[in-house]
Amino acid sequence: MIRLHVIPDLSAGAAVAPTLDQSRYLTQVMRLKLGDDLLVFNGRDGEWRATIAEILKKGVVLRAGEQVRPQTLGPDLELIVAVVKKSRVETIVEKAAELGARRVRLTVTQRTNVEHVRLDRLDAIAIEAAEQTGRLDVPTVDDPEKLAAILDGWDGARRLMFCDETGGAPVAAAVTEPDPWAILIGPEGGFSPEERERLRALPFTTAVSLGPRILRADTAAIAAMTLWQAAVGDWER
Ligand code: SAH
C-alpha cells in the first residue's frame, strides 16, 4: 500500500491535506480514486490508514481512519559526512534513511572542496526513502558545519566511530557500547594529518577501519552504517 509522509497532525477522523505534488502523485500517477485507502505518517503520530475523501483542483483531502502502528524511533545513530559532490551526497542521504540513521550532519573539513548543498532536495530524498522503507521517523539533514565546530560542541555521551582510511580497529571488535553513536566519514581527499591527530585524541572517539581497500565516501558511509547496525544497532533486536 502507498505510504505518504504528511505534515499535519494525525488523529482519528482528521482531514489531512497533502501537498499539491503529492496530490498529483496520488491521483495522476497512482490513479487512486475517491474512497481508496493509503497509509500516512508524519514522524510524530505513528502510522494511520487514510482514505481519499475529496479530489479538488487544489489537491486531494484525506480522511484519517484508525492508527495502524504507534510512533517508533530507530537507534540513536548520526552520520557525519564531509560534503562531496551532489550525486554522492544524495546517495548518502538516501542510504542513511534506509539504513536507519536518525540524523545526517554535513560537514566541511580541511580537504572538503564542495560546500554548496540543496537542503530542500536532500530533505525530500530523506522523506521518500523513509516512505519506502516503512520507518516512521524521517532523518533530519543539517546544513554543512565545520568539523572543528562539530567537535567543539560535542555531547560527551555520544561515541564517535571515526572511519579512518589509514587504519583502525575492526568495527565488530571496537564498537560494543550501545547507542548514542555518530559515524564520521571524510571527503574524497581524506582527513588531514592534523584532523586525524585531533580525532584520535578525543575521549569519545573510536578509530575504525573499513577494510584494506579505500572506499569512496558514499560506499564508506553505507559500509560503516551496515557494520554499526550489525554490531550494536537494531538489526539484532
Ligand atoms: N583520498 C583518501 C581516501 C578518502 S575516502 C585516500 O586516498 O586515502 C573517503 C572517506 O571514506 C575517508 O575519509 C574515510 O572516512 C572513509 N573510508 C574509505 N575507505 C576506508 C577504509 N578502508 N577504512 C576506513 N575508512 C575509510
- What's the mean per-residue pLDDT of the chain? 96
pLDDT tens-digit readout, 8-67: 999 999 999 999 999 999 999 999 999 999 999 999 999 999 999 999 999 999 999 999
Query: Helices 86-98 and 217-232: crossing angle, nearest 10°?
Result: 10
Residue 178 and residue 102 share a domain: yes
Distance 188 CA to ligand 1 centre (A): 7
Q: Nearest residue CA, atom 3 of ligand 1?
A: 190
Range of the domain at 34: 3-69
Query: Could you say which of 17, 35, 69 is where a domain stops?
Result: 69
Residue 130 and residue 15 share a domain: no
Residue 101 and residue 43 share a domain: no
pLDDT tens-digit readout, 171-188: 999 999 999 999 999 999
Q: pTM for this one?
A: 0.95
Query: Could you say which of 69, 96, 115 is where a domain stops?
Result: 69
211 pocket-lining for ligand 1 (C-beta < 6 Å) = yes
* DSSP letters for 105-139: EEEE-TT-------HHHHHHHHHHHHHHHT-SS--
Residue 86 and residue 32 share a domain: no
Mutate to test the pocket of ligand 1, among 165, 175, 205 (most ligand atoms within 8 A of CB): 165
Residue 91 and residue 50 share a domain: no
Is 115's pLDDT higher than 90? no
Residue 224 and residue 127 share a domain: yes
Residue 153 and residue 63 share a domain: no
190 pocket-lining for ligand 1 (C-beta < 6 Å) = yes
Residue 214 and residue 117 share a domain: yes
Residue 201 and residue 157 share a domain: yes
C-alpha cell at 161: 566511530
191 exposed, middle or buried (CB, 10 Å; 0-12, 13-18, 19+)? buried
What pLDDT was estimated at residue 237? Answer: 56
The total number of structural domains that make up the chain: 2
* Spatial distance between the Cα atoms of 230 and 233, rounded to a whole number of angstroms: 6
76 pocket-lining for ligand 1 (C-beta < 6 Å) = no
Query: Alpha carbon 173 to chain centroid distance?
Result: 25
CATH no. for residue 49? 2.40.240.20
CATH no. for residue 154? 3.40.1280.10
Residue 98 and residue 158 share a domain: yes
